[in-house]
Chain A
């Protein structure tokens, strides 16, 4: 039997978790620790920072220094940690509402600064914790308790947002594509700069039940059938794309990382240069 080496990264005494049966959040949490293991991040020099929401509860189960902040504010807290002590590896866990609604401004500014954070967005397309209200990533015409006739608010593509705002690494995967998801996160960790990984997750309770997919297996099948690897996506004619979405690495580029740039400010203020 394969050894479950990732288990050491969990606080066994905090489990079982609070998530619903069939929720995708646990899968992404596991993918994160497997990526941490793959990248051999020293555990005592790794900090997990989360916002507020079902997804953000993950920090409490992970055996690192962990910080469960306020709704939408994980990225500013994480920025402070990283800038105060650049030797720390900082991973941010956030939800679609947390990251792109209340925390939207912090999200684009984190990407703009290109500070070395790995941000994993658990996208369940809904506000799970508060019982199924629409989020800025709820697809058009899908139902939510606050969009009982279907949402007419155009959703964000968080990957495009991160790219446009200046991130160094942008990728997407799903809770169905576990190995792929782990690889996407692991690569994000290794990139120096702002890395953003959108993990599309099933929320059978708050999203599925409202949108004709009440069973976790139905939602998993939906993820399997609608996620298209980037290469195949590029060849897919427009009319066949409909409600499908691409997964894979969308962007990887080099640009000076923020704490590195600030170290130069310190050197110059201390009379090293200029």
Chain B
């Protein structure tokens, strides 16, 4: 371990991405994500990497996709309005299978909303924001230290699955400062850029999937002369209008993530052994929820907590198991109600799921969540 230092969530995000091998950042400034760009602008050139401030978030997305195709590991970061602008090219990355990590430090919306206030209002946009059918990976850290790990993981998943990965932060964690001890570089596992395993002469096809259903399109400039497009394409990489190719392609995009779902679904369980009630929480709100659950326990309430780090793909299994075991689930969210419905879907009637929604710019207090738990239990201990 390295020495202890005081670090901000956004700085930890930049540090994690760099540790995972990111050497190219493109983006456009926006609160509350700007410190990520500023940190990258300072640190990347010293590592031989590049930072470029683009004219908007669309080009911020385009420039990192170009750099990724040229062989760099890439990152872009934004918030609210900027995340909306990036959507079309997030879909492009999903379709053309280009590794990229997009950080979204959530703020209150819609529109310009409340730029400096925390929110969890983009949870569904992360999943469904761009048009068409595609899977999504999104990770939501709850501490500064975990932000570092989540950034490493996000870069690794983007490279491994050749897909866009969203690091879903919020203003709470992004601007939080905590004492952290980062791992030594030698203790960090880095997934290398995938490369062709065959020559052109041996029949290499850039979009032919490997065993893990992920293809290895060659980096530009390495002699393979590949074609990359956002049109639906076959293994050659060239567009195809065939219904069979289209169906197979969209299936594979989903299946390559689905077959690894258990491995990439991360969550914590707290006080669940004897729990009769559960709080399901994520991101900055999970910090308050954890405190609330401890307070409720001190009052004698048998309540536990599931803290989701992987938001997408959704952690169906643990929610199913939890719903089987407890009398009711509470989902506190800093939005009008988003992931609650996903929890409810997974619980599938095994137990009631209640929403505790807050969307007035203020954080939950632990007591508000304790009240929510008490309402759930109907005062029953």
Contact = CB atoms under 8 A, between A and B. Distances in A.
Q: Which of B89, B225, B238 gathers most chain A CB within 10 Å?
A: B225
A53 interface: no
Contacts of A68: 227-231
Contacts of B24: 80, 83-84
A73 interface: yes
Interface in A41-98: 43-45, 47, 49, 59-60, 63-70, 73, 75-85, 87-88
B66 A78 contact: yes
Chain B interface, DSSP helix/strand/loop, else mixed: mixed
Interface residues of B, number: 43
Interface stretch (A144-152, A175-183, A262-270): A262-270
Given A68-B231, A70-B230, A266-B45, A80 B221 contact: no
A67 B225 CA distance: 10
B67 A88 contact: no
B229 A105 contact: no
B246 to A, nearest CB: 17
Contacts of A209: none
A77 B62 contact: yes
Contact of A269 (B45, B52, B71, B89): B45
B221 A87 contact: yes
A88 B221 contact: yes
A106 interface: yes
A217 B172 CA distance: 65
Given A43-B225, A85-B70, A79 B52 contact: yes
B238 A84 contact: no
Nearest to A61: B227
Contacts of B228: 66-68
Interface stretch (B53-61, B121-129, B187-195, B257-265): B53-61
Contact of A70 (B68, B92, B225, B226): B92
B45 A73 contact: no
Given A70-B89, A270-B45, A80 B55 contact: no
Nearest to A77: B66
A109 interface: yes
A60 B55 contact: no
A69 B230 CA distance: 6
A83 B55 contact: no
A76 B45 contact: no
B65 interface: yes
A273 B46 CA distance: 12
Contacts of A268: 45
B59 A76 contact: yes
Contact of A83 (B50, B61, B221, B222): B50
A84 B71 contact: yes
15 contacts: A43-B225, A47-B70, A47-B220, A60-B227, A60-B238, A67-B220, A69-B92, A70-B89, A75-B62, A76-B26, A79-B66, A80-B66, A83-B67, A265-B45, A269-B46
Given A76-B62, A81-B70, A81-B220, 18 more contacts: A47-B221, A63-B225, A67-B69, A67-B220, A68-B227, A70-B88, A76-B58, A76-B66, A77-B65, A80-B24, A80-B63, A80-B70, A81-B66, A84-B68, A106-B62, A262-B45, A266-B50, A269-B46
